[in-house]
Every structure is written in C-alpha cells, then in structure tokens.
Amino acid sequence: MSSEYVQAGGSVTAPPPSIDLTRRVRHASEHLAQPLLWACAVFSGAVVGVVIAYVFWYALPIFSRQALPFIATGDWDTAIDMAWTEPDVIFGALPLIAGTTLTTLGALLVSVVLGLGCAIFLAELAPDGLRRPLEAVIQLLAGIPSVVFGLVGLSVVVPLLSGLVPKDAYDVVTDIPLEGDSLLAGIIVLSFMILPFFVTVAVDSLRAVPRSYVDGGLALGIDRWRTITRIQLPAAAPGLLAGAVLAIARAIGEAIALSMVAGSIAFVPSAKWGLQYFPFMPVRTMASAIVETGGEGMSIPLIHDALFGLAAMLLLASLVLSLAARMIVSWWGRRLALDTGRSL
C-alpha cells in the first residue's frame, strides 16, 4: 500500500492520519473475517454435534434395557405412575408414536391441500396489491408462538368440537372420554402452525419454474388453469415435496399446543367402535409427553431414561427429514440447472 497521498492541486504529501488508520483497520478486518467466520461455523456445528451426542448417550440405557418393546408396546401413562414407587418398570411408547404420527400426517394433509391452493394463488393469480399483504400475513403466521395457537385452539376449536361429539359416545366408547380436546383438535391447530412453512416453500418452488414452460403452454392454446396443473405443478413437484418434508419436521416436534388441545392421554386411537368416534379420541405425542412429564420426573432414573429415549426418536426423525429435504432441493436444483441453465 502506498504511503503517498495526492491532493487536488497535484502535490504529493503523506496521507492524513485518519485515512491511514482507516486503511489499516480495513486491512486487518479483511484478514480477520475468514478465520472468524470459520470459527463461527465450527462452533455452531460443534454445538449441534454435542446436543446430538448428549441426547443419544442418555437414551442408550432405555434402548439397551428394553430395545424393541419400548417402541412396540403401550401403557406409557401406567408406567409413568409406577416408576415413582417401583424399581423395575417397562415403558411402552407406542401410543405416543401413534399420536405423533396421526397428528402429523393429518395436519400435513390439511396444510398441503390448503397451502397448495394458497401458493398457486400467490405465485400466479393474485394481483400485486393483494399478493404482498397476503405474503406478509403468512410470514407473520409463522412467527406466532405455539402457546398462542394452543390458547386459541383451547378457547375456540375445543368448544366447537365438543358440540360435535356423538351423543351416544359415552355409552359406546367406555374406555376413554371423548371430548373436544382430541385428535381432530390437534390436527386442526397443528395444520395452521405448519401451513406457512409449506406455503413459503411452495411459492418459491412455483416461481422457480422457468417462465418458458408456462408461456409455451399458453402459446399452445392451453388455458391458464391447465397450464398450472399440467405443466407448472409437475415441474415444481420436487420443491413441493421438500416443503412437505420440512413441514413434517416442524410438526413432529410440536409440544405445547398439542398438549393443550389433543387430550394428553397416551392412547392409540381405534376405529373398532366406528369411524364417527375416531376423530374425537384423545392422543398424546412424544414431544408433549416430554414437556408434561419432565421437570420433577427427571429425578427418577427410569423416567429420565424413557424421556431421553423419546427425545432420541424425535431427534433422529428430524435429522432424517431435514437431510431428505436438503437432498430433494439439491437434486431439483441440479436438474433445473441441467434443463434450463438456471439454478436455485
């Protein structure tokens, strides 16, 4: 770096101290930026690795002691009560796995149906004056705390569903209470919680489809709706699938809202009494069980190990789904670059 400074009149003098100091600071920051960013990346990765290792380490005792019965048997609530007084208890997480699976798949179905229509409207049909406010509302919906969703569901959805429970439910289904806080309430609340995540990815996926695809369809005389459904949606399918996978990953870890509206009973819903009773059966998810049983229950070694077993299953499912979504998006980006010369 030259130490000379050319003034407006053409004379050459030493640079002012302020300019020289600015150059030195800029030069030092350029040299420090890369190692600092590298350190931040390593630290973040290390934290994630430590969390994963910590959870799986404390989950080992329950899987080594029970192995498959922990996943394939029931009686979670009974085992939790017995663990306070008995030294050897067999836990069964099957009702929790069933509750998590049913609420997640039900919410995914609802959010994909609603979200796909919303994404098509925002990406292709909405006027500019309406598109931006709607996108802002959807982004705001993604930032609402889960406890607020749970409170709204508890005060609106649960009372509404209580009036829809069949009148003879207490006479037919005698094993469990059928109320408004149920599987259906959990699906409804969870659907609106994961809806903005799917809509955001779906809108980006539809907009990433090359306009030549759409313009070519319209030029061939295909109407607008058929162009969207027969050309644009198939081209955006990998991105839509990735959005669905991310929505699932978000749904399986939800605890507070489902604990408030889903009934909080470890029970595997059954249609043996009739399909009209099935949606009103209470469920408890794995994440809800961790929240509700943790705290004082962590002082009991058996409960401690069982809760970490649930946490390990949730963590493993989230990792698998996140990796699957990244692989889908990466594959889609490579295919798009090969076909059109554009990349994500």
C-alpha distances in Å from residue 220, one per residue of 65, 214, 215, 301: 65, 10, 9, 69
Question: Rounded to whole angstroms, how far apart are CA atoms 93 and 205?
Answer: 37
Tokens linked to 305: 């190990």
SS3 sequence of 218-253: HHCCCCHHHHHHHHHHHHHHHHHHHHHHHHHHHHHC
What is the SS3 assignment for 108? helix
Domain parsing of the chain, residue ranges: 68-340
User: What confidence score (pLDDT) does residue 22 get?
Assistant: 67
User: What confidence score (pLDDT) does residue 13 get?
Assistant: 56
User: What confidence score (pLDDT) does residue 109 get?
Assistant: 93
Tokens linked to 183: 């599987």
Element (H, E) at 6: strand 5-6
* pLDDT tens, position by position, 321-330: 878 777 877 7
| pLDDT, one tens digit for every residue, the chain (344 residues) | 444 555 555 555 555 565 556 666 666 666 777 788 888 888 888 998 999 999 999 999 888 888 888 888 878 888 888 888 887 888 888 999 999 999 999 999 999 999 999 998 888 888 888 888 888 888 888 888 889 999 999 999 999 999 888 888 888 888 888 888 899 999 999 999 999 989 988 888 888 887 777 778 777 777 778 888 888 888 888 888 888 888 888 888 888 999 999 988 888 888 888 888 899 999 999 999 998 887 777 888 888 888 999 999 999 988 888 787 778 777 766 766 655 555 44
The fraction of the chain above a pLDDT of 90, given in percent, is 24
User: What confidence score (pLDDT) does residue 172 get?
Assistant: 85
User: What confidence score (pLDDT) does residue 114 get?
Assistant: 92
The neighbour count for residue 1, using CB atoms within 10 Å, is 7
- Cβ-proximal residues to 168 (8 Å cutoff; 6+ apart), any chain: none
Question: Rounded to whole angstroms, how far apart are CA atoms 269 and 48?
Answer: 35
C-alpha distances in Å from residue 88, one per residue of 64, 84, 256, 298: 14, 10, 30, 16
- CATH number of the 68-340 domain: 1.10.3720.10
C-alpha distances in Å from residue 50, one per residue of 44, 47, 55, 317: 10, 5, 9, 18
Looking at 264-300, list the stretches that DSSP marks H as alpha helix, in order from N- to C-terminal side.
Answer: 286-293
The neighbour count for residue 226, using CB atoms within 10 Å, is 12
Tokens linked to 145: 């705390």
Angle between helix 128-142 and 183-208 (nearest 10): 130
Q: Please state the pTM of the whole predicted model.
A: 0.81
Tokens linked to 320: 């698998």
